[in-house]
A and B are shown apart, each in its own frame.
Chain A
């Protein structure tokens, strides 16, 4: 069965420091890959996605992620964190192609809480 693992439950960084959030997946074939962010009391906002092509994808708010097929990873990075980035981050995967019972089904990781110190 497919699964998504975010090894870090909670990460604390200082404002201005760089950030990397880890995501590993277990899947039969390379899935579609996503990162979402959830601020307290809010819904989820899509940061970026990987479907195909360039393995380094750019997203909103200065985030980027790199897909590494050999490591089954899709880590999220930001060169300089802002206090407003404090939130919970979710990695998610969905099967390629359409049809069948997995049609559009997103499987989420457990989430990583990011705390930013001034």
Chain B
């Protein structure tokens, strides 16, 4: 049973396209996150949702739009993809009331050509 799952695992697309990455967690957590890991392996938070409410929105181009249809799902939609969007995107979840122990998904490697 996968705790935090992401689809797809790999995504190759051309500049200008629009794409979505989906994330689901079956841990019953109330908070979900999106992180971006660049080519130098640096991890930076992008967004966080708590009970479907956006609570962290870092300095991210507005081409990136997260959506949380329910507490178990957090999707990331990216419009007008650019070369610089190539990265690994990680979803994570936590039950914040018991601390910030975050569980990460396997990642989605996005390559923009």
Question: Contact between B104 and A104 (Cβ–Cβ < 8 Å)?
Answer: no
CB neighbours (8 Å) of B66 from chain A are: none
- Report the separation of the CA atoms of residues A88 and B100 in the bound assembly, to the nearest whole angstrom: 21
Nearest chain-A residue to B50 (Cβ)?
A103
B104 pairs with A108, CB closer than 8 A:
no
| B 57-113 contacts with A by CB, 8 A | 90, 92, 94, 96-97, 99-107
Q: In the complex the two chains form, is B42's CB within 8 Å of A111's CB?
A: yes
A45/B104 contact (C-beta < 8 A), A104-B31, A105-B56 known: yes
The answer to whether A104 touches B33 (Cβ under 8 A) is yes
**Does A51 reach chain B (CB closer than 8 Å)?**
yes
A98 at interface by CB-CB < 8 Å:
yes
Select which of A49, A102, A111 is within 8 A of B101 by beta carbon.
A49
Number of A residues near B (Cβ < 8 Å) is 25
The reply on A63 being an interface residue by CB < 8 A is no
Q: Does A84 contact B (CB under 8 A)?
A: no
**C-beta contact mask, A40-51 vs B, less than 8 Å → 1, else 0?**
001111100101
- Give a binary string over B16-54; 1 marks a CB under 8 Å from any A CB, 0 the rest: 000000000000000101000000111111001010000
Looking at chain B's contact residues, the main secondary structure is strand
Which chain B residue shows the least CB distance to A49? B101
Q: Say yes or no: A106 contacts B104, CB within 8 Å.
A: no
A26 to chain B, nearest CB (A): 17
Contact, CB under 8 Å: A103 / B96: yes
Task: Report yes or no: A104 in contact with B106, Cβ–Cβ below 8 A.
Answer: no
Is B15 interfacial (CB-CB < 8 Å)? no
**Chain B residues with CB below 8 A from A106, complex form:** 33, 45, 100, 102
- A: residues with CB less than 8 A from B are 32, 34, 36, 38, 42-46, 49, 51, 88, 90, 94, 98, 101-108, 110-111
Given contacts A36-B104, A106-B45, 6 further A-B contacts (CB under 8 A): A43-B4, A43-B104, A49-B99, A103-B56, A104-B96, A110-B42
